[in-house]
Amino acid sequence: MFERFFPDEEANSTYEIDFETLYREGYRGLLFDIDNTLVPHGEKADERAVALFKRLKKIGFSCCLISNNKRERVQMFNRDIQVPFIENAHKPSSKNYLRAMELLGTNQRNTIFIGDQLFTDIYGAKRAKIRTILVKPIHPKEEIQIVLKRYLEKIVLYFYRKKKGKAT
């Protein structure tokens, strides 16, 4: 029942993912959520985020930001990153995941989505048939509707980890 929300894998942080290995495995497109995936909610791109995207571009990845935020928020974050983006994405709709791959010239076999929320980020990417990596939220301060969803996520993650043999 919960499998539709299960990520393909988990990471403690976006910044701990081994992107070089993913590139060697044939992945060429990376789609990212912004808030609590790359920076705390509402923050601009910090030095760590800028360095990450510089590194990803050097490796050879094409990147795109997919956010449910408004254009102004995404533009503020993207100012120093300079990658394609889709704002107001209506995640978990799969439409804009597919659109992002079109923008990058990638496909479902060579694209990965990285995000911090199961019911929007991961579920939408899975609906678009893209590999997913769930990262832990960067900061505990979140909007109330997200805080409420986190309680439900804990239940889903319990069953995910139990299936993977690592329930806590």
Among residues of the chain, what percentage have pLDDT more than 90?
A: 76
User: What is the model's pLDDT at position 110?
Assistant: 98
Q: How far apart are CA 30 and CA 127, in angstroms?
A: 16
CA distances in angstroms from 14 to 3, 63, 99, 168, listed in the order given: 23, 14, 22, 22
- How do strand 62-66 and strand 9-11 relate by DSSP bridges? unpaired
Q: What is the mean pLDDT of residues 148-153?
A: 73
User: What is the model's pLDDT at position 168?
Assistant: 52
Alpha helices, DSSP H only, in 60-143? 71-78, 95-104, 123-127
Q: How far apart are CA 103 and CA 86, in angstroms?
A: 10
Tens of pLDDT, residues 92-135: 999 999 999 999 999 999 999 999 998 899 999 999 999 999 99
Q: What is the mean pLDDT of residues 29-53?
A: 96
Level-2 CATH architecture, domain 3-139: 3-Layer(aba) Sandwich (3.40)
User: What is the model's pLDDT at position 66?
Assistant: 98
What pTM value is reported for the model? 0.88
Which DSSP symbol is given to 34? -
The verdict on whether omega for the bond into residue 140 sits within 30 degrees of 0, i.e. cis, is: no
Tens of pLDDT, residues 71-87: 999 999 999 999 999 99
**Intra-chain end-to-end CA distance of the chain, in Å:** 20
Q: How far apart are CA 43 and CA 73, in angstroms?
A: 9
